[in-house]
């Protein structure tokens, strides 16, 4: 692509045909338009480069966000899994403790029944002794 400076340095040789003044006038207008287009082209290329850099930054941010989202999702799943495991462990421990408490309570009931039976037997023995004493006392009274 010719630069505006190269166009400005271009010279036409005189000869038969078109008027040099008319050609220079049109050439001047073409050069001015070309110079505007040339500058606009440079500005647009600069804008394109800036936009491409911006796109690159946004793509980089997109990758960072994707990675962050994946990490967040992975962390959330891991936290959920750990919480579920902890809940399962707490439930198992509670069930174990409940079973132990039931066993302990059952043993206390058994021990209380055994103790009550022993007291009944002792009362029966005591009752028998008291009856024997009373009977012997009655027998003594009858003899007197």
Q: Per-residue pLDDT tens, the chain, 144 aa: give them.
A: 667 777 777 776 666 677 778 778 878 888 888 889 999 999 999 999 999 999 999 999 999 999 999 999 999 999 999 999 999 999 999 999 999 999 999 999 999 999 999 999 999 999 999 999 999 999 888 887
Judge contact between 3 and 31, C-beta under 8 A.
Answer: no
CB neighbours (10 Å) of residue 27?
16
Distance CA 25, CA 31 (A): 10
pTM for the model: 0.46
- What distance in Å separates the CA atoms of residue 118 and residue 102, rounded to the nearest whole number? 24
Strand (E) or helix (H) holding 90? helix 20-143
């Amino acid at each position: 692509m010719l630069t505006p400076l190269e166009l400005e340095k271009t010279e036409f040789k005189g000869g038969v045909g078109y008027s040099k003044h008319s050609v220079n006038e049109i050439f001047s207008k073409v050069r001015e338009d070309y110079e505007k287009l040339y500058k606009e082209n440079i500005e647009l290329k600069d804008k394109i480069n800036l936009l491409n850099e911006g796109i690159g930054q946004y793509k980089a941010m997109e990758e960072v966000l994707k990675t962050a989202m994946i990490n967040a999702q992975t962390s959330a799943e891991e936290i959920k899994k750990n919480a579920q495991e902890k809940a399962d462990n707490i439930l198992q421990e509670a069930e174990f403790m409940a079973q132990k408490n039931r066993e302990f309570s059952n043993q206390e009931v058994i021990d209380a029944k055994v103790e009550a039976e022993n007291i009944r037997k002792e009362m029966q023995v005591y009752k028998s002794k008291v009856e024997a004493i009373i009977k012997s006392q009655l027998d003594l009274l009858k003899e007197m």
